[in-house]
Amino acid sequence: MSWNDESGRRRVAVIGDQQPLALKGYRFYTSFNKGFAPLFTWHPARGPARRGTVHLPAYPIHEYRQSREWTLPDTDVAVWVMLKFDEVLLDPARRSEFRVPREHTLVVRAGAERRELKPGERYMLPQGVLVYEGVTTWMGYNVFFDWTMPWLLAAGLLAVASLAWHFWNKFAARPWER
C-alpha cells in the first residue's frame, strides 16, 4: 500500500489481515474484498479529457458477473462494460495470488452497439472518444479505530493516582500523640 504523509512524501508499507497500517489512531487491515478496475480516458467533444477507473464487482465472489454500467462524465450516455478472460487466476488446487489477467478483452456496450476493446483501443461516440487504457485492481480494507483507548488511559491514570493517595495516607509519617 502507498500513501502520502503530512509532509507530502510518498510512503510504502506491506499490510495484511494480521499486520495493520497504523495512522493517527486508525488501523487499516486488508479484507477479502478485491476486484478489477478498467482504466479509461474520456475525451469529450468539448472540454478537457478525464481519466478514471470503473470498479467491477468483487472477484472471485462474483467471478461470472464482472460487469458494471456507468454514465460517461458530463453526459447522459450509459455505458455497460464487462471484463472477459479465460485464464484461471485463483486456482483452489494450487498456490496462487490475485493479479490482472495476462490476456483479456473489455466488452463495451453503449445503446445497441457492442464492441470488444483491447488495452489502448478507442471507442468513438457522438459525444466523444472513450479510450480503454487497461485493467488494474482494487482492494477493500477494514478500518478500525478504538475510541475506548483515551478512556482506558484516563481510567488507568485515575487508578494509579487513587492508589498513590491511599498509600500515601496509610504510610505517611504522623506524630504518636495528637
- Burial of 101 from C-beta contacts in 10 A (0-12 / 13-18 / 19+): middle
The predicted structure's pLDDT at residue 66: 94
52, pLDDT greater than 80: yes
pLDDT digits over 17-49, tens only?
Answer: 888 998 888 999 988 899 999 999 999 999 999
pLDDT digits over 87-126, tens only?
Answer: 888 888 888 888 999 999 999 999 999 999 999 999 999 9
pTM over 0.85: no
Provide CB contacts within 8 A for 175, sequence distance 6+. none
- Burial of 152 from C-beta contacts in 10 A (0-12 / 13-18 / 19+): exposed
Of 41, 69, 74, 73, the closest CA to residue 55 belongs to: 69
Give the 3-state secondary structure of residue 169.
Answer: helix
Q: How far separated are the first and last CA of the chain, in Å rounded? A: 70
Give the start-to-end residue ranges of the domains of the chain.
34-138
C-alpha cell at 54: 470503473
Query: Residue 57: is the preceding peptide bond cis (ω within 30°)?
Result: no
